[in-house]
Amino acid sequence: MVKKKDITNGLPDPSELMDEILAKYPTKIAKKRKKGMVVNDPSEEQEIQANIRTIPGIITQRGCTYAGCKGVVLGPTRDIINLVHGPIGCSFYAWLTRRNQTRPAEGEDNFMMYAFSTDMQDENIVFGGEAKLKDAIREAMELFNPKAIGIFSTCPVGLIGDDVHAVAREMKEETGINIFGFSCEGYRGVSQSAGHHIANNQVFKNVVGLNDRDRKGKFQINLLGEYNIGGDAFELERLFEEAGIELLSTFSGNSTIKSMEYSHTADLNLVMCHRSINYIAEMMEEKYGIPWFKVNFISAEGTAKSLRKVAEFFDDAELTAKVEEIVAREMAKVEAVKAAVKPKTEGKLAMMFVGGSRAHHYQDLFNELGVTTVSAGYEFAHRDDYEGRHVIPNIKIDADSRNIEEITVTKDEELFRDDLVAKKKAMEEKGMEFSDYVGMMPEMKKNSLVIDDVNHWETEKLIEFYKPDMFCAGIKEKYVVQKLGVPLKQLHSYDYGGPYAGFEGAINFYVEMERMLGTDIWKMVDAPWKSEPEIVGSFAFNG
Amino acid sequence: MLLRHTTDKVKERKALTVNPAKTCQPVGAMYAALGIHGCLPHSHGSQGCCSYHRSALTRHYKEPVMAATSSFTEGSSVFGGQSNLLQAIGNIFQIYEPDIIAVHSTCLSETIGDDLGQIVTKAKTDGKIPEGKHVIQAPTPSYVGSHVTGYANMLEGIVKYFPTKTDKLINQINLLSGWVEPSDMKELKRIMGLMKINNVLLPDTSDVLDTPMTGKYAMYPKGGTTIPEMVSMGDSLHTLALGEWATNKAAIALDNSCKVAFTQEDLPIGIKATDRFIQALSKVAGVSVPESISDERGKLMDLITDMHQYLYGKRVALYGDPDQLIPLTEFLLDMDMKPVYIVSGTPGKKFEKRMSELLSERCPEAKFKNGPQADMFLMHQWIKEEGVDLLMGNTYGKYIARDENIPFVRMGFPILDRVGHSYFPTLGYMGGIRILEKMLNEIMNYQDATCPDEKVELTM
């Protein structure tokens, strides 16, 4: 059996581990990687290097801009056609591989089970693919008659000079539906992150504000950066509905294009995944005066806290009472399961290396079970996700990300909500925090190791050093880590389970942790004859 | 309905592909490279491709799939990716210590015009490739062909690099396995073992993508064709290449470089294709067919005759890769089934020719198509026009199977939603028995679930 790290007197100093990791690298690479690792001290301001180019050959887990744009942000919107302009792979690999669930009514459009591509061939590379793209749009119109079409550029599109935006304008004119393009070629930026930004810009420019709707209910919100993996958004919809909070639009789990079009009529934006959607949150505030704050619906405590903050913002006795009623009822259920599970999980160690937000969010859920996060990091988050938004003015945009468009948004004189600005100011005076995110590092323990863009070599060394009870990451890491005898929980796909958000999600997660951390399967990995080879050997000989 | 927008009116498309029956080249190259011992595949492009390809293979095998990438940025996309690849090669050898790096390209590096051969040569002259280590390469533009083409290109890249002709013939044959599962590669080795044929199987992903759980992780598992084996292929008596789309290029390249003559055969799926394979093996190696193999054949025949009543006349829709579809179609026809709809996203004129030969007399109503727009959307429309009794193909068929209530057999790549499939072959007579069992299970499950109560049978 592996000897566990004793953490009763705090986490071990991982400096030795860092040295060992860095010793393997060529000098230049070691220097770079060192800046992406921090031995955490929450009492101090610490800087981590993030959102920089990937080192070639390092075996990163990162994906590309197209994945961040099409795969993440727009993919979950069910009633528009996401047309991928490129060779077939990009469309194929983003076809149903992220578990963005959706629940259309009978007869409503739902294109999520389809993959649409212009399937570029070599002649399209040589002579350009614009004509084929136009034909593909015409064919899509004829076959599917969608409400809108998004065109997603892949690597070769930018290089051969196809202008997807010009095609979009022309075809919008021709078809009469909303058609807009995304310059989300895979090589832009350094990761999925650039794709989020590009998606935010285009959705804001081409979708948000297109439609109005009559005000329903007293409390109108949007949920930003929640993609309904495994039904997370369904659970949150349930809670909002019961509380009497009108959820206008979710960006973009279980969403429709129309809901995004009137999202500017909300009173408040809740930001779940800061990395992928903070751009829209800011732009909506600038243009329409809608305030936003960060929430975390991962973990029961976080859910209760987030719901209470919404109630506090609206400052309505009835709403507050309803929220308290929901929290009391749901927490009773949560506590019952937690009481049964926690004795089996208390004191266990976890590590998590997930995209751009979950490595932080899930620490709350693990805390509820008494599980300590010893090391964590993101694939593609920026410094503000690690250190908090106060560092934003100090972040230098480097050459690799400089060409990601920054759009300027101005106040909409007609629709701007001065009342919301006043409300925000009043609430701020009472101590409520807006437009802020504290980041992951201040909320992690002293001596925990924070690593950005962790690679395969580092993953192996981390496991060797910490011998964790649980590793949280994605599909590419899963079987590597499990071969080493450590269970891996996928926090992108949830290993096909979920939801994990909200109260029901917390219960699901507790039960799942009981299964994963409680099983004896991992102790059965060694064959019994491995420990007594001689006896078996001599018996066989004599026989 | 999951696929609620699919209508039964087929409309000719020339630009839009919907629900493709293929994916792009590099994943095939990555898979082929994993069949070499001590090899790390490398994707020369932006990193998204590499992550997608690793994920696709991992989801299919439930196994680690390693590969590195050049991680292009916008700068390298404009000025070329040479420095990225050179840096990657240096880093990989220092950090991950493979014996071989197998580089493939993507639509990005191909559109830019990066010349992999030239960059690898430069890596060599710059001293980036340590003594005794190797970097091989194959161009795999995603806008040509499909994943099968990528497999073929990497296989060609391998045989252009390693096999060496000396003046000494070796009493062995080369077997170029098409894109088949690790279990199939094991089955091929088992058959050659029964026939006592010395051989080199290339590539060989068995014991690479089906490794045991031991509490240890081996980045380069014990399986894979070894360097000495690959080098020796230049002195073999003959090459037998299985599956034209996947192996023909490599067979020709080996013939050109080392004058090893080759025989092209179909993948041994079903009776006749396996018969041809066994006979070809027997002929090129000069050995007779052992009784144990005749017994296996007889068992398959026995099962078919026993179960013929359940198969006769059943209409089947299938989709996937040409090398699998051709012998599978033949197998279905030999059992008096009707493969009525067949699509493959992989282009190639021979598909139509082979399918016409097989189907024109025995199933004249069959519709088949390959290449762009020969997609699962089209096949689904055909099914809506007139239904089928069985659907066979990769996981993406489950949505059609559910909507149309059709028994569904998972075969081909990728199978994302079931485990264990990669441990059992579909090649050879034993593989034929497995295909038969899978088909019968689905057909009988459907009957048991849908027939009136009084018709539920205890025995079949």
We report the CATH number of the domain holding residue B430 as 3.40.50.1980
Interchain pair B67, A59: CB under 8 A: yes
What is the rounded average pLDDT of the residues B11-39?
Answer: 98
Give the closest residue to A499 by CA, choosing from A184, A227, A202: A227
Does B256 share its domain with B399? no
Does B440 share its domain with B417? yes
Give the closest residue to A120 by CA, choosing from B380, B106, B12: B106
Interchain pair A483, B396: CB under 8 A: no
| Residue with tokens 């989801």, as numbered in its chain | B59
Burial class (CB in 10 A: 0-12, 13-18, 19+), B310: middle
Pick from A53, A188, A476: CB nearest B58: A476
Interchain pair A117, B17: CB under 8 A: yes
What whole-number distance in Å separates Cα of residue B34 and Cα of residue B27? 11
pLDDT value for A532: 72
- pLDDT of A537 above 70: no
A190 close to B (CB below 8 A):
yes
pTM beyond 0.90, yes or no: yes
| Tens digit of each residue's pLDDT (9 = 90 or more) over B85-133 | 999 999 999 999 999 999 999 999 999 999 999 999 999 999 999 999 9
Which chain B residues touch A140 with a CB distance below 8 Å? Answer: 16
Which chain A residues touch B213 with a CB distance below 8 Å? Answer: 482-483, 485, 525
What is the rounded average pLDDT of the residues A16-22?
Answer: 98
Residue B131: what are its φ and ψ, rounded to 5°? -50, 130
A177 close to B (CB below 8 A):
no
Please give, rounded to a whole number of angstroms, the shortest distance from the CA of B381 to a CA of chain A: 12
Does B313 share its domain with B439? yes
Q: Which residues contact residue A284 at a Cβ distance below 8 angstroms, ignoring those fewer than 6 apart?
A: A204, A208, A222, A263, A264, A269, A290, A292
Q: What is the residue-wise DSSP string for A379-424?
A: SS--HHHHH-GGGGGGPPP-TTTTTS--------TTT--HHHHHHH
Chain A, window 449-488: residues with a beta carbon less than 8 angstroms from a chain B beta carbon: 456-457, 460, 474-476, 478-480, 482-485
pLDDT value for A8: 86
Interchain pair B143, A114: CB under 8 A: no
- pLDDT of A14 above 70: yes
Of A343-347, A533-537, B72-76, B128-132, least confident by mean pLDDT is A533-537
Q: What is the residue-wise DSSP string for B197-227?
A: --EEEES--TTTSSPPP-S---SS-S-SB-H
What is the rounded average pLDDT of the residues A390-397?
Answer: 97
Interchain pair B143, A113: CB under 8 A: no
Which chain B residues touch A60 with a CB distance below 8 Å? Answer: 47, 51, 69, 71
Which chain A residues touch B414 with a CB distance below 8 Å? Answer: none
| Tens digit of each residue's pLDDT (9 = 90 or more) over B376-403 | 999 999 999 999 999 999 999 999 999 9
| Tens digit of each residue's pLDDT (9 = 90 or more) over A187-206 | 999 999 999 999 999 999 99
Burial class (CB in 10 A: 0-12, 13-18, 19+), A247: buried
* Domain end among B141, B161, B181: B161
pLDDT value for A530: 83
A322 close to B (CB below 8 A):
no
Interchain pair B345, A140: CB under 8 A: no
Burial class (CB in 10 A: 0-12, 13-18, 19+), A104: middle
Interchain pair A88, B142: CB under 8 A: yes
- For residues B359 and B368, the answer to whether their CB atoms sit within 8 Å is yes
Does B306 share its domain with B380? yes
Q: Classify residue B166: in a domain, yes or no.
A: no
Which chain A residues touch B215 with a CB distance below 8 Å? Answer: 483-485, 525-526
Give the closest residue to B338 by CA, choosing from B355, B317, B354: B317
Pick from A53, A143, A480: CB nearest B64: A480
pLDDT value for A531: 81
Residue A417: what are its φ and ψ, rounded to 5°? -100, 90
CA atoms within 13 A on the CB side of A526: 9
- pLDDT of A542 above 70: no
> CB neighbours (10 Å) of residue B166?
11
A265 close to B (CB below 8 A):
no
Chain A, window 88-107: residues with a beta carbon less than 8 angstroms from a chain B beta carbon: 88-97
- pLDDT of A340 above 90: yes
In chain B, the percentage of residues whose pLDDT exceeds 70 is 100
Please give, rounded to a whole number of angstroms, the shortest distance from the CA of B96 to a CA of chain A: 8
Number of H helices, E strands in chain A: 22, 14
| Tens digit of each residue's pLDDT (9 = 90 or more) over A209-242 | 999 999 889 999 999 999 999 999 999 999 999 9
Which chain B residues touch A61 with a CB distance below 8 Å? Answer: 51
Q: Chain B residue with minimal CA distance to A128?
A: B111
Interchain pair B15, A478: CB under 8 A: no
Does B200 share its domain with B331? no
In chain A, the percentage of residues whose pLDDT exceeds 90 is 95
| Tens digit of each residue's pLDDT (9 = 90 or more) over A139-197 | 999 999 999 999 999 999 999 999 999 999 999 999 999 999 999 999 999 999 999 99
Chain A, window 484-543: residues with a beta carbon less than 8 angstroms from a chain B beta carbon: 484-485, 525-526
| Tens digit of each residue's pLDDT (9 = 90 or more) over A28-60 | 999 999 999 999 999 999 999 999 999 999 999
Burial class (CB in 10 A: 0-12, 13-18, 19+), A177: middle
Does B279 share its domain with B371? no
Give the closest residue to A448 by CA, choosing from A433, A465, A427: A465
What whole-number distance in Å separates Cα of residue B179 and Cα of residue B177? 7
- pLDDT of A541 above 70: no
* Domain end among B288, B311, B340: B288
Q: How many CB pairs under 8 A join A and B?
A: 258
Does B275 share its domain with B370? no
Angle among Cα A117, A120, A124 to the nearest 5 degrees reads 140
What whole-number distance in Å separates Cα of residue B144 and Cα of residue B354? 21
Q: Classify residue B58: in a domain, yes or no.
A: yes
What whole-number distance in Å separates Cα of residue A256 and Cα of residue B282? 62
Q: Classify residue B69: in a domain, yes or no.
A: yes
Does B236 share its domain with B326? no
* Domain end among B254, B273, B288: B288
A114 close to B (CB below 8 A):
yes
Helices (H), ranges, B142-265:
147-161, 182-194, 227-232, 244-258
Active centre residues of A (catalytic): 64, 67, 98, 196
In chain A, the percentage of residues whose pLDDT exceeds 70 is 97
Does B154 share its domain with B201? no
Q: Classify residue B79: in a domain, yes or no.
A: yes
Q: Classify residue B83: in a domain, yes or no.
A: yes
Greatest Cα pair distance, chain B, in angstroms, is 78
Total domains in chain B come to 3
- Polymer length in residues for chain B: 460
Range of the domain at B92: 25-161
Does B381 share its domain with B450? yes
What is the rounded average pLDDT of the residues B324-328?
Answer: 98
Give the closest residue to A513 by CA, choosing from A375, A332, A370: A370
Q: Classify residue B51: in a domain, yes or no.
A: yes
Which chain A residues touch B91 with a CB distance below 8 Å? Answer: 25-26, 29, 55-58
pLDDT value for A480: 98
What whole-number distance in Å separates Cα of residue B110 and Cα of residue A22? 34
Does B263 share its domain with B382? no
Q: Classify residue B89: in a domain, yes or no.
A: yes
Interchain pair B107, A156: CB under 8 A: yes
pLDDT value for A543: 42
How many angstroms separate the Cα of B288 from the Cα of each of A429, A535, B191, B279? 92, 44, 12, 9
Chain B, window 79-108: residues with a beta carbon less than 8 angstroms from a chain A beta carbon: 84-85, 87-92, 94-96, 106-108
Does B305 share its domain with B450? yes
Q: Classify residue B30: in a domain, yes or no.
A: yes
Picking from A119, A132, A152, A529 by the largest number of B CB atoms within 10 A of its own CB, the best residue to mutate is A119
A61 close to B (CB below 8 A):
yes
- Polymer length in residues for chain A: 543
